[in-house]
Structure 1
Amino acid sequence: MREIKINLKRPYTIYIDSNLDKLFNTMNEYKIKKNDTLFLITDDKVSGLYNDIILKFEKHFNIKKYFFNNGELNKNMTTIQGIYSFLIENNANRDSILIGLGGGVVGDLVGFVAATYMRGIRYINIPTTLLSQVDSSIGGKVGYNYNGIKNIVGSFYNPEFVFISTNFLKTLEKKQFIDGLGEVIKYSLIKDKTLLEYIKENIKGIAEKENDKMLYIIRSCLSIKKYFVEIDYKDTGIRNLLNFGHTTGHAIEITSNGKFTHGESVALGILVAIKMSENILDLSNEIYNDVEEVLKKLGLPIEYKVDNYNLFMYAINHDKKNGKKIRFVLLQDIGKGKIKVEVNNEDILKGIKQSIDKGE
């Protein structure tokens, strides 16, 4: 079992293994005892896929279960209120422990509830998707979407620990698996050129979810995120590099009405950001062609038709990372990003029309 320790004022550890066999031993190490009451929260899709795991939990602990409807559209206050009501009805207190079993939506919601219920209780994050394993399961960002703006309400709050099993990836549908690869490409561009080369050399093994390939990718991405989180936990400076591709990506995610997943949207946002980097920072145009080819081979989208530019620009201008001025994360070179680059609407539109929406 591999371990990555996030060294903050309140540190926590990420455990990475090929299966879940060591999870319960890990829980014992954290003094979570047999017959302790745990509150397991997931969505209806995950509960169906991993009912055997939930049954294992029930053998070890006194488990109270709550399932909400799957999907990004349910990452909202209504779901949060449902979880609060469930905890109150089952007498959860400040000594209680929540378990978030699922993808990024589950992790973000459970983390937010843990941060706010009785002013903060413990939770354990068990991410089941590639996207959540390489990205959202660590870093402390928890929250939900409101009024059409992604993650606009939230907090910073860390779990007791994160337990990642690559075994979960075997059950992912192709679109769900590809979703996570968008974030993987992001990490390879902002910090680790060797990761990009590894991906290019192992396209087939990655597509087949070979265990050693998945372990390498997950450890690489988490090591990069660890670096940024430890330096800039509250995301006021250098950690902004993790938002590469996300400002346009969030607009695509919102305006596509669910057609494109988060990772697919980020991949498209990356292409826009690279083209803007060419225009504004003189980035070599060879990088765009190289990245576009990798995205195609991985099955990620490289085109998006913007049907309503007014709505699209509204989403970008109201992205939570922007104030009065629009700021983008751009690239000076692979592994060398630049944060808070001020751009205008014309810069963005030009980048979009040169990349994902050529109007052909």
Structure 2
Amino acid sequence: MQIVQVDLGDRSYPIYIGSGLLSESNLFLPHIKSDQVCIVTNQTVGPLYENVLQSSLTGKRVALVELPDGEAHKNFSTLNLVFDGLLQARHNRNTTLIALGGGVVGDMCGFAAASYQRGVNFIQVPTTLLSQVDSSVGGKTGINHPLGKNMIGAFYQPQAVIIDIDLLATLPAREISAGLAEIIKYGLLGDGEFLLWLEQNIERLVALESDALIYAIQRSCENKARIVAADERESGVRALLNLGHTFGHAIETQLGYGNWLHGEAVGAGMMLAAELSEKLGWLATEDVARVRNLLARAVLPIAAPKSMTVDQFLTHMSVDKKVMDGRLRFVLLKALGEAVVVSDVGLADVEQVLQASINSGLADIR
């Protein structure tokens, strides 16, 4: 088992990474402060793993809330099911919520924990590769709004993150690829050595080889923990973690949440960011080709959806969280492994890159 520490003073917490961790009571019990526990999961993950988790919660009175599965349900109505379950079970402010699921479950459980009786403990048990390397770490919680993704939420840190790679065995291949997008992101934005490792080992990750997975997850969590420790509330360097997300969130919002997985949209978004970086003279053509090749080998989209228009992109990007003072901000690449946040990109350049990507017809390569 590997342990990565997220260093946030009195809100610091460990990330445990390994095989068979869902059965390890000693990982859970130290982070639970009363006999009240509520497992928040969904209708897909719950039947697979909730019994194993409950057996690890020795001596606890466990309530269970099963949410509908999918990004389309990441909204106020579904969030209220968590509050219903907590109140019906008469849970007090000493309760501990455990998020057993992917990013949607983790974001909603964390937001519920931040809100219920003005804040209760919670533990993240991410069950998708994407949530293991990204959404479960760093304390971003929230729900979607019809006009924008993750626009309503709170910064709220868990007590611990417990990553069991065995849970990935039941995932569809498409979900694995979606998680690889966020792993690739860490290499592109600031870890050039890791990017080289990914270029040499991406097929091992697609095949879920255990040692490669543990290394990639640990390296990704270390990168994110370092950035979060430096900028917990995204007032500076943490914005780099949004590489590909300005474009990606526009894709998710336009196509309907869940039609493209978050990681698929981020993959296409990173490709667009690389192409815009080339347009600005920062990346060479061969650099962009490396990004395209790596994303394709990870079985991710490498272009914008051909059903979208430039105007649709710009409309959705104008209400994205990353807009500041009315100006679009992009995370772009000065070089592979060196990301920067910029807000002075010419609109004509953005439009040309988007139109070329839409016209390429490459979006559906997976």
TM-score under structure 1 length normalisation: 0.94
Of 338, 352, 355, the match for 1:353: 355
Aligned partners of 1:104 and 1:127 also within 8 Å: yes
Q: What is the Cα deviation at residue 248 of structure 1?
A: 0.3
The residue aligned with 2:103 is: 104
The residue aligned with 2:291 is: 291
Aligned partners of 1:125 and 1:161 also within 8 Å: yes
SS in 1 for 2:41: strand
Letter in 2 for 1:132: S
Give the Cα separation in 1 of the matches to 2:24 and 2:311.
Answer: 48
Letter in 2 for 1:171: T
Q: What is the Cα deviation at residue 19 of structure 1?
A: 1.4
Give the Cα separation in 2 of the matches to 1:215 and 1:202.
Answer: 13
RMSD over aligned Cα atoms = 1.8
Give the Cα separation in 2 of the matches to 1:282 and 1:215.
Answer: 33
Aligned partners of 2:283 and 2:333 also within 8 Å: yes
Aligned partners of 1:43 and 1:69 also within 8 Å: yes
SS in 2 for 1:45: coil
Residue 137 in structure 1 maps to residue 139 in structure 2: no
Letter in 1 for 2:292: E
Residue 6 in structure 1 maps to residue 6 in structure 2: yes
The residue aligned with 2:331 is: 329
Q: What is the Cα deviation at residue 310 of structure 1?
A: 2.8
Q: What is the Cα deviation at residue 32 of structure 1?
A: 5.0
Alpha-carbon distance change, 40 to 284 in structure 1, aligned in 2, over 3 angstroms: same
Aligned partners of 1:306 and 1:357 also within 8 Å: no
Letter in 2 for 1:265: A
Q: What is the Cα deviation at residue 344 of structure 1?
A: 4.2
TM-score under structure 2 length normalisation: 0.93
The residue aligned with 2:150 is: 151
Q: What is the Cα deviation at residue 278 of structure 1?
A: 1.2
Give the Cα separation in 1 of the matches to 2:263 and 2:151.
Answer: 18
Q: Unmatched 5+ residue regions in structure 1?
A: none
Letter in 1 for 2:345: V
Cα shift readout 1:132-152 (whole Å, capped 9, x = no counterpart): 000111111111111331010
Give the Cα separation in 1 of the matches to 2:120 and 2:200.
Answer: 44
Give the Cα separation in 1 of the matches to 2:98 and 2:351.
Answer: 43
Q: What is the Cα deviation at residue 311 of structure 1?
A: 2.6
Give the Cα separation in 1 of the matches to 2:237 and 2:75.
Answer: 29
Give the Cα separation in 1 of the matches to 2:72 and 2:220.
Answer: 27
Alignment of 1:7-86 (within 5 A): 7-9=7-9, 10-20=11-21, 23-30=24-31, 32=33, 36-57=35-56, 60-86=59-85
Aligned partners of 1:326 and 1:344 also within 8 Å: no
Q: What is the Cα deviation at residue 194 of structure 1?
A: 1.9
Cα shift readout 1:39-86 (whole Å, capped 9, x = no counterpart): 111111111222442452466532110111000011101111121122
Aligned partners of 1:272 and 1:356 also within 8 Å: no
Residue 310 in structure 1 maps to residue 323 in structure 2: no
SS in 2 for 1:38: strand
Cα shift readout 1:146-191 (whole Å, capped 9, x = no counterpart): 1331010111101111100111111111111111011111111011
SS in 1 for 2:308: coil
Give the Cα separation in 2 of the matches to 1:282 and 1:140.
Answer: 32
Cα shift readout 1:300-324 (whole Å, capped 9, x = no counterpart): 1113214343332211111111030
Aligned partners of 2:108 and 2:141 also within 8 Å: yes
Q: Unmatched 5+ residue regions in structure 2?
A: none
Alpha-carbon distance change, 69 to 78 in structure 1, aligned in 2, over 3 angstroms: same
Paired residue total: 358
The residue aligned with 1:340 is: 342
